[in-house]
Amino acid sequence: MTATNSEATLPSQGTEAPRSGRVDPKYLRSNPSKGAFEMWAWLFMRVSGAALVILIFVHLWTNLMVGDGIYQIDFAFVAGKWANPVWQFWDLTMLWLAMLHGANGMRTIINDYAEKDSTRLALKSILYLASTVIIILGTLVIFTFEPCLVDEAGNLLEYAPSFCETAVN
């Protein structure tokens, strides 16, 4: 037995309280090296969560609370926002953090409720696949977005935002 931590000792029994890495091996469900991953996942939830509060509250404020609110949201509105690299970066950060935060939360829930190994594997496979597809899709959309679409004759489409007129002419 290695040195004992007096703060972790239960006075009544004189034994150490169980904690990650100090549990009797017969009670371990998986490889102890997973403990480091779970610690980083736990920390990530708190750091990304705090960032997402700011990212999402500002997102809701600019899209729903100011201007015409819900009615202003259309193709031209999105084009106007993404013409600014700050909003591209804002939405990209929000996409990645929210998806990773949400996927990790869903992973925790699957681990809690799906008792069969095969069920856990199936559900987590779907979760990881869906999350990867959504993150890649969203990232591509932000970076390949073309606001000033033209028809075959080279004329701007009617939904194009107003700043396209000066850019084309």
Partner 1 sequence: MTQTKSTPGGRGTLYKGREGMWSWVGHRITGVGIFFFLLVHVLDTSLVRVSPEAYNAVIGAYKHPIMILGEIGLVGAIVFHAFNGLRIILVDFWKQGTRYHRQMLWAVLTLWLVTMVAFSVRHLMIFFEGWEGF
Q: Which residues bind partner 1 (CB under 8 A)?
A: 46, 49-50, 52-53, 56-57, 60, 64-65, 68-71, 73-76, 78-79, 95, 98-99, 102-103, 105-106, 109, 130, 134, 137-138, 140-141, 144-145, 149, 157, 159-160
**φ, ψ (nearest 5 deg) of residue 82:** -80, -5
Residue 20 or residue 28: which is nearer to partner 1 going by CB? 20
CA R_g for the chain:
25
Nearer to partner 1, 16 or 96 (CB): 96
Return the number of the residue (16 or 63) whose C-beta is nearest partner 1: 63
Give the span between the Cα atoms of 131 and 3, in whole angstroms: 43
State the minimum distance, in angstroms, from the CB of residue 71 to partner 1: 5
**Among 124, 30, 28, which Cα is nearest to 19's?**
28
Closer CB to partner 1, residue 15 or residue 28? 15
Minimum separation from the CB atom of position 70 to partner 1 (A): 6
- Residue 146 to residue 149: CA distance in whole angstroms: 7
- What is the nearest approach in angstroms of partner 1 to the Cβ of residue 146? 8
| CB neighbour list of residue 76: distance below 8 Å, 6 or more residues apart | 159, 160, 161, 162
| Cβ atoms of residues 159 and 139 within 8 Å | no
Beta carbon of residue 60, minimum distance to partner 1 (angstroms, whole number)? 6
